[in-house]
Structure 1
Amino acid sequence: MLDVARIRADFPILGETVNGRPLVYLDSAATSQKPRQVLQAEYDFLTHANAAVHRGAHTLAAEATDLFEDARATVAGFVGAPAEQLVWTSGATMGLNLLGYAIGNATAGRGGADSASLALRPGDEIVTTAIEHHANLIPWQELAARTGATLRHVPARADGTLDLDAAGDLIGPRTRVVAFTHVSNVLGIVNPVAELVALAAEVGAITVMDACQSAPHLPLDLAALGVDFAVFSGHKMLGPYGVGGLYGRAERLEALPPFLTGGSMITTVTLDSAEYLPPPQRFEAGTQPVGPAIGLAAAVRYLDEVGLDRIHAHEQALAARMRAGLIEIPGIRLLGDADAERVGLWAFDVDGVHAHDAGQFLDDRGIAVRVGHHCAAPLHRQYGITASVRASVALYNTADEVDELVDAVRGIRAYFGVES
C-alpha cells in the first residue's frame, strides 16, 4: 500500500483549486505533476553549480559536469542501461526523429562502415502498429518517403490488443525496422514486447520502443526486454519539461551516424571535414539540458524510493475502480476494454456528447482530463470517433478522486439533454 497522503504532500500543485473546487488531476498521461524534490534539485543546480558542462577548466564547470553525468548514470540505471547507452534528448519525439533522420543519413551513405547495416533501400519495409502516438508514426512515414521503403502497420483488434498473428505475417524478410509502443497512450494496455522483439529478431530487423507511458508506471529493464532502441520523456515521469532519453544497444548506437551536428559532439574539425565522438556524445550537439537532466534524476530517485512495483499495483487498483464505475453508466464506451495488463488510464466515448464538451463539463467541477484524439488519430478512426475523453492516474491519485470522476461522468449526458 502506498502512503498517498504523504506522497501528495510532496506535490505543491495538488493543493490548488480549479473553478472554486479542489483540483482533481487526472491528466498524468499527458504530463505528470512534479514533487518538491525535483523542483529543489533543479533550483539547487541553478543557484549553486550552474555552468556549461564538459571541457571547462574552472570549479563550477567540473561540478556541473559531474552532476550532469551522474544524472545520466542515475536515469540510465532506472531503465536498466549503462550510462554510455543513454542519449539525452528534449523528449521522446526528438529521440524518434533522431533515429529516423540518422537512419536516413546511413541510407544516404553518411557515417562509417557499420552504418551500412542500418541503411534502407526501396522495397524494404518499416513496420509500426495501428495504435501508435503520432510521434512514433510520422517520423517513419518521413523515413519511408525519403528512402523508398514501404510502411506497414500491425492492426489492433476491437478490444485494443495487437493482432500478433497479423504481426507474424507482416514482419518478414524485407522488414528492417519494427517500431511499437510499450503502452498505448489511448488504450493503456501493456503490449507483448517479447513477442514483437522475437519476430523482429528472426528477420534481423531493428526494434524501436516508445516507453513514454511505461517508464513512469512499470519497472523497466530495457536491456532485458531486448529492444534495440527506446525513448521516454521526462515530463511524464515526474521530471522537468525539455528532457528525455534515447536508449540504444551499444552496437546499434555505434553504427548510427549523427543527426544534429555542431559543438560538443566532435573530436577533430578542419574547414572541410570532421570526426565525431563515440556515443552518447555523438548525438548531443550543442548546449545540453543540464538543469532538467538533474531534475529528471531526482524524479527517478523519487520513483525508486516509492517503488515501481507498489506504484503499478496502486495505479492498477485505481484503474479497476474507474472501469467498474464507468461501465455502469449508460452511453459510456471504454476504448481498449481488454482483459490484459494495463497502466492506470482509460479513454472513453460519451454517446451523443462531443469529447470537448464532456471535458469542459468535468473541468467546471475541478476535474482535469484530456480530450481529443491524443495524437493517435488513426486509432480513433478505427473506433469510429474523432475524439475521446481520457482520464489517467499516477501515484498521487486517490480512490476518492476516481469516485469523483465517475460521479461527474454520470451527469454528462443529462446535462447536455441526451436521452439515456
Structure 2
Amino acid sequence: MVDYRDLIYGNDQKVPTKFGLKPYLNLDNAASTPPFKDVMKLIANECLWYSSIHRGAGYKSKYLTERYEESRRAVTGFINADPNHDVVIFTKNTTDSINKVRHYLPYLPGELVVYTRLEHHSNELPWLNHQNICLELNNNTLDLEQLEKVLKRNHGNIKLLAVTGASNVTGYLPPIYILAEMAHAAGARILVDAAQLAPHRPIWVRPATDPRHLDFLVFSGHKMYAPFGAGVLVGPKWLFNQGDPSQVGGGTVKAVDSEGIYWAEPPEVEEAGSPNVLGALTIAESFKVLHKIGWNELFHHEQQLLEATLTGLKKIPGITVYNEATTQRVGVIGFNVKGIYHQTVGEALAEYGIGVRTGCFCARNYVKHLLNLSHLIYQGTNQRKLPGLVRVSFGCYNNLTDVTYFLDVLEELIKSADRLYG
C-alpha cells in the first residue's frame, strides 16, 4: 500500500492524552481534512505577494489578481465544466454556495423542489420553506422508482432536484449522473452537494447539451486538504445575471447612480467584498495534488482501507454498521456499539489519540431513518443524550496500520466496557 502521509502537513503532530503525548490518528476527515504540504508551501509563497486584488495599479495587486483568476480557470478544468456556459464562483463554503442557488431560484405557485433523505442540513434546510418532496430510501439507497413516479406526476413543475454526491453518514454514492438525466427529462435542474465527493472521486460537470450535465455543483476546500474557508459554486452564467445578487457590496456593480444600479457580470456579481484569495488558490492547488496522485490510485487505496475496516468491525461483537457495502461508496463508515452511548465511544477513543466524530453529523433525518426513530424521540430527548452514531472517515493519508490500531483499541474498549460508563 502506498503511503501518502508525507504529503500531509502536521501528520506527525502529537496530542495530549491520559497516557501522555501520542501521535494523532485522524479518522474524522469527513468533517475537515488536514492541508497538503504543497498547499501550505503555496500559502507561504503567495503571502509574500499578498495584496488586494482587482483594480489595483501596483505589481502585487496585478500579480495576485492573475493568480486568483488562474485558480478559477484551474478549478473549471478540474471539474470538467464548460467555461462558455458555466461559471465558477468562489464562496465561503458549501452552505454559502447552496444558499446562493436558492436566492436565484424563485418559486412560482405549484413549483417544488425534490431533495433526499440522505441530505446534510445545508442541502435540506434551504428547501423546507418551499413546497417540497423528500425522496425516501430503499435498503439505504435512493429509491429510483419513487423518483421516477415523482418526476412523472410533477412533470414541468419541479424546479430542482437537490442531492448529495456522497453521504457524510454512510459514504453511500448516489448515481448523480443518472439522477441528472432523470431530472432533465422532467424539465428540472439538478444540484449536487459534492462536499464529501470532491476529495474522493473525479467530477464531470459535462456540457450543458449532455443529458447528464450537472446544473449546479457545490463543495468546500476544507474537506479536500485546502483550509482557509473557501468554497465553490458552479452554475450557468446566465442565471447569475437574473435580478439582484444574493449579497451586495464592493465589486458587485458596474456602476450606480441616481437612476439605478448596474450589476457586474458573474462571477464578480456573486463575490461581494474582498474575496478569500488564498482560499481560492488552495482549492486549485489541492486539486492539482489529487490529480498528481491519480484518482484510480486514490480509489484503490481507499478500497483497501474500507474493506479492512468493515471486515474488522464485523468480527467485533456488538457492533452495528449502517452501510456494509464495499462498493458504490466512499471512505465514511457509520456504526454503533451495543449498549454504549456513541459519544462515550468517541471520548474513549480520544484517550488513545484517535479522532472520530459522533452524533448526527448535521444529517439528523438520515440518522433518524437509520436508527428507525420517531420524531417524538428526538423532540423529547435531552440534547446531551440525543441518539446518534460513531463515524470513521478516511483521508488519502490513512493506512492499514491506522485501521489495525483503531480496531484493536475499539475491541479492547468494548471488552472493558464497564469503564466506559464511568
TM-score (norm. length: structure 2): 0.89
Q: In 2, distance between residues paired with 1:96 and 1:230?
A: 9
Residue in 2 that maps onto 1:281: 268
Q: 1:27 to 1:202 in 2, by over 3 A?
A: same
Q: Secondary structure at the match of 2:361?
A: coil
Structure 1 position 89 matched with structure 2 position 91: yes
Q: CA deviation at 1:238?
A: 0.6
Deviations along 1:105-134, one digit per CA (max 9) or x if unpaired, are xx3xxxxxxxxxxxx123221100001000
From the superposition, tell whether residues 339 and 395 of structure 1 become closer, same or farther in structure 2 (CA, over 3 Å): closer
Residue identity matched to 1:326: L
- Corresponding residue for residue 316 of structure 2: 329
> Cα gap change, 1:349/1:22 in structure 2, threshold over 3 Å: closer, same or farther?
same
Q: CA RMSD in A?
A: 1.9
Determine whether 1:197 maps to 2:180: yes
| Aligned partner of residue 31 in structure 1, secondary structure | coil
Question: CA separation of 1:155/1:340 partners in 2, compared to 1, >3 Å: closer, same or farther?
Answer: farther
| 1-structure distance, mates of 2:259, 2:120 | 40
User: 2:77 maps to what in 1?
Assistant: 77
Say whether residues 1:9 and 2:17 are aligned partners. no
Where do 1:134-153 residues align within 5 Å?
Answer: 134-142=121-129, 144=130, 150-153=131-134
Contact 2:104/2:239 (8 A) holds in 1: no
2:102 is the counterpart of 1:100: yes
Tell me, yes or no, if the aligned pair for 2:50 and 2:64 is still in contact at 8 Å.
yes
Residue 414 of structure 1 deviates from its aligned partner by 3.0
Identical-residue share of aligned pairs (%): 30
1:396 aligned partner: 397
Q: 2:143 aligns with which of 126, 146, 163?
A: 163
C-alpha distance in 1 between matches for 2:392 and 2:138: 22
Work out whether residues 72 and 88 of structure 2, in 8 Å CA contact, stay in contact via their aligned partners in 1. Answer: yes
* Of 380-389 and 342-351, the range deviating more from structure 2: 380-389
CA distance in 2, matches of 1:375, 1:231: 17
The answer as to whether partners of 2:104 and 2:240 remain within 8 angstroms in 1 is no
Q: Secondary structure at the match of 1:329?
A: coil
Contact persistence 1:42–1:292 (CA under 8 A): no
Contact 1:334 1:346 in 2 (8 A): yes
Partner residue of 1:228 out of 209, 215, 219: 215
**1:178 is matched by which residue type in structure 2?**
L
Change in CA separation of 1:193 and 1:256 when aligned onto 2, cut-off 3 Å: farther
Instruction: Give the conservation status (yes or no) of the 8 Å contact 1:96–1:136.
Output: yes
Q: Shift of residue 293 of structure 1?
A: 1.1
TM-score, length basis structure 1 = 0.89
Could you tell me which residue of structure 2 aligns to residue 350 of structure 1? 337
1:243-264 Cα distance to aligned partner (Å, 9 max, x none): 0100113444455752111111
CA contact (8 A) 1:26 1:368 kept: yes
- Number of paired residues? 393
Q: Within 5 Å, which residues of 2 pair with 1:3-402?
A: 4=3, 7-18=4-15, 19=17, 20-47=21-48, 49-82=49-82, 85-103=87-105, 107=106, 120-142=107-129, 144=130, 150-158=131-139, 160-171=140-151, 172-173=154-155, 174-223=157-206, 225-255=212-242, 257-338=244-325, 340-384=327-371, 386-402=387-403
2: CA distance between counterparts of 1:391 and 1:254? 42
